[in-house]
Chain A
Amino acid sequence: MAIDLKSLKKNQSYSAIAPVSELLDDLNELAVMDKDAEHQLKHYGTLRLGLIVGAIVVAFLASLFLFYVGLIALVGLLGAVIWVSIQRAKYVGLDLPDERYQFAQEITNLLARDMTPEQLVQLDVGFRSALAAENKTNSQPHPKRSGWTLDSYQHDWFKVQGGFADGTRFSLALMEMFQHASGYKRSASGKRKYKSKTKSKGTTLDLQLFCPRKRYGALDVLRNDAEKAVQMLPGVRLKRCRVTPKGLAITLLLPPDATASMVRDSLIKLLLSAYQVLNLAQQLSQKSKPPKKSKKRKRNGGRIGA
């Protein structure tokens, strides 16, 4: 599937419905494009800097020695600076945050383990800054600092939806939350300076599974205990765990300092937690039950689904 560059640059997002293999191809292509853009930006940036320095030197020399020749050279250099800037601008929208598409690659690969190759996945990855205007959810006067405003941002830059091979539909979304405080601060010398401070308020991981009742019909039985099956990394909080006869929804709140690897690990734990519940529900739903073990097995006793 070809990536629509124009749309990518304009919207700063990637959105597609495709089999995993095609999505991964796209994400690889994004990575290549990003690396190329980074390289070009660096290249043109260096060139521009060199030209600007050159222009300054020429301007200085011209003012001392050959004014007209220097002026022409200066105009030429400035023209070159403009051209280089234009060239550089072509790549500005294509320099994407690496961690976003890398995360998307990792998670898509993770989910693909339990999908059939032909199953379609809807993947949305946003590359805009978290503090983009469209992410602002609230704005209020700062409760402690007079004259300051406190803006809240919610940035849901990753969302993936699709189906597993067992008939379960999944929806997984990641949302980062920020608070941005801004206002004028008077320095000791009496000057007013504009200051701003952005603070992460954590990241939520939201997993929703819609399960085929035939396979997981007994899920509702586990409603009151499902929460206890959720295992989390230290610092991660369970925000919601809701079980209905048709599926379950679990939301985790990760701490503000969560790294990309912590998000990934939490996500694996989240998926395993959900399926720890579902696999038991599947056992309870079966018409023919596995027999009770008279004694705990030495290895993997009563182990299901792994």
Chain B
Amino acid sequence: MSGQAKQGQGMKIRLVWKDACSGAVRKPVLTPPVAIGADFEQLPEKLGQRSVSRIAIADDTLKPFHAILMEEKGQLIAITPKDPSQSMADVLRSPAGVANAIQKQSLNNGDRFQLGQTPMTVQVSAVAQATAAPVETEPAETEPSETEPSDASPAPSSATPEIPLPPQPSSDEFSTRPTKLLDPDLDEDDDMITANDAPEADPNPANAFSVKQTKLLDPRLDALPELADASPGKDAAVGDRAGAAGAGAAVAGAAGAEDNRVMAGSMAKSKTPKAFPRDEAGAAGAPSERSSEKAEENAKTGCDRQVGFLFKRRCGRLTPTGCPYCRQNNSHDYDPYEADYFYYEHYGDYTVGHWGSDYYAERDRYYYNRDAGRMDFTEADAASFEEEFDNDYEMDMGAS
């Protein structure tokens, strides 16, 4: 199937990749343009007038802002900097002009490519096809109130002359492998997909554990409340030790929303996959020095898995020893407390017919609509709550 989509209808794409940290297969449906990088905060919210779907992937070989996928004349194209040392942020600020600093490559439905060390597959569909599968749709609008991307004008970069993208042998570069592995149709039935459907195994042995798992997509991962609070720059992740991990919580907080801000690895900004290697031999057998470094870093920064019973949070354990979640062959599906959820019917479910569905359905009103009678939680209040925790500290000069 071609990647061509009818102009005017708007293009929807689905990116499929396996999160090296959690092992979860991510497959959000997005509206181009899509900004991809390692640091959510550095990805632009808008390009020109168009809202941008932002995807942060926990991959330490990615640049903070690595690439853009956008629609150009009905064709999906990938844009990366010409200079491998530059990030897209540098390119967009480049005084020499954007056109000369980028390279483009067209992508078709089912194409496979690799960003950093993360293999990805793209599925391209016109909006009509995408909306036929609303179950999985993750809307592309960063803010619901903003202009529909499909109605927006083409992004500024689309005006640049099309430059053929040369073959990129380096894994650090954007390369395409037009091998159609996935069912091109965006149907509802792929709510659950397995590793067989997922992109191919991560070549990095340190990530072998994640990739080898036969993994069901766990939608809970998307919807989990993050332990880190939503305000950027504030570290609330339990178990974060190093500064980098601390800052990571900020990204995770922003990514806690189940929108187009997909954050692979959920809580972690740290670009290094952090799930424990399956065993020591896996790490020791790493052919490259880089892999063993990564494994070492894994051991330092702790496990990224989501754990907890009442609420989920980043695990952060430095060793699987004694971890109740790592008892069953490190399976990411294994939840030692799952049986106890049966004590509460539809725990965590706020959809129609369940407790809290009214609030959940209209959750935006609690924030945006100050005139709503039921709301005593305005935007300003929320902002003050963001700061309140901080304000509790460093406000009393007589404390000790």
Contact = CB atoms under 8 A, between A and B. Distances in A.
Same complex origin of A and B: yes
Nearest to B390: A214
Interface stretch (A26-34, A40-48, A125-133, A296-304): A296-304
Interface string B332-345: 00000100110111
Contacts of B337: 113
Given A287-B382, A292-B361, A272 B341 contact: yes
B386 A272 contact: no
A213 to B, nearest CB: 6
B388 interface: yes
A286 interface: yes
Contacts of B134: 293-295
Contacts of A214: 229, 231, 385-386, 388-389
A293 B351 contact: yes
B155 interface: no
Interface stretch (A69-77, A183-191, A219-227, A248-256): A219-227
B138 A306 contact: no
Contacts of A144: none
Given A113-B337, A286-B257, A288-B257, A303 B220 contact: yes
A76 to B, nearest CB: 56
Contacts of B258: 290-291
B259 A287 contact: no
Contacts of A300: 219-220, 223, 348-349
Contacts of A275: 310-311
A195 to B, nearest CB: 41
B366 to A, nearest CB: 5
A11 B63 CA distance: 63
Contacts of A225: 355-356, 359
A287 B386 contact: yes
B377 A284 contact: yes
Chain B facing A: main interface SS: loop
Contacts, number: 204
Nearest to B223: A304
B348 A303 contact: yes
A110 B382 CA distance: 32
B238 A116 contact: yes
Contacts of B351: 293, 296-297, 301-302
The listed residue with most A CB atoms (<10 A of its CB), out of B313, B351, B374, is B351
B182 interface: no
A221 B219 contact: no
Nearest to B317: A117
Interface in B91-143: 134-135, 137-139, 141
A152 interface: no
A5 interface: no
B228 to A, nearest CB: 9
Interface string B345-384: 1011111101111011101101100000011110001110
A272 B356 contact: no
A165 B356 CA distance: 24
A295 B130 CA distance: 13
A94 B375 CA distance: 56
Interchain residue pairs A-B with the least CB separation, the first 8: A290-B258, A306-B348, A272-B344, A302-B351, A217-B385, A113-B309, A288-B257, A275-B310
15 contacts: A114-B308, A221-B359, A221-B377, A272-B344, A274-B310, A276-B344, A277-B356, A284-B359, A285-B230, A289-B364, A290-B256, A290-B258, A291-B139, A295-B135, A303-B220
Given A214-B385, A231-B343, 20 more contacts: A217-B382, A220-B376, A225-B355, A283-B360, A284-B367, A287-B231, A288-B259, A289-B144, A289-B257, A289-B259, A291-B139, A291-B141, A291-B260, A293-B351, A298-B191, A300-B220, A300-B348, A302-B357, A305-B225, A305-B312
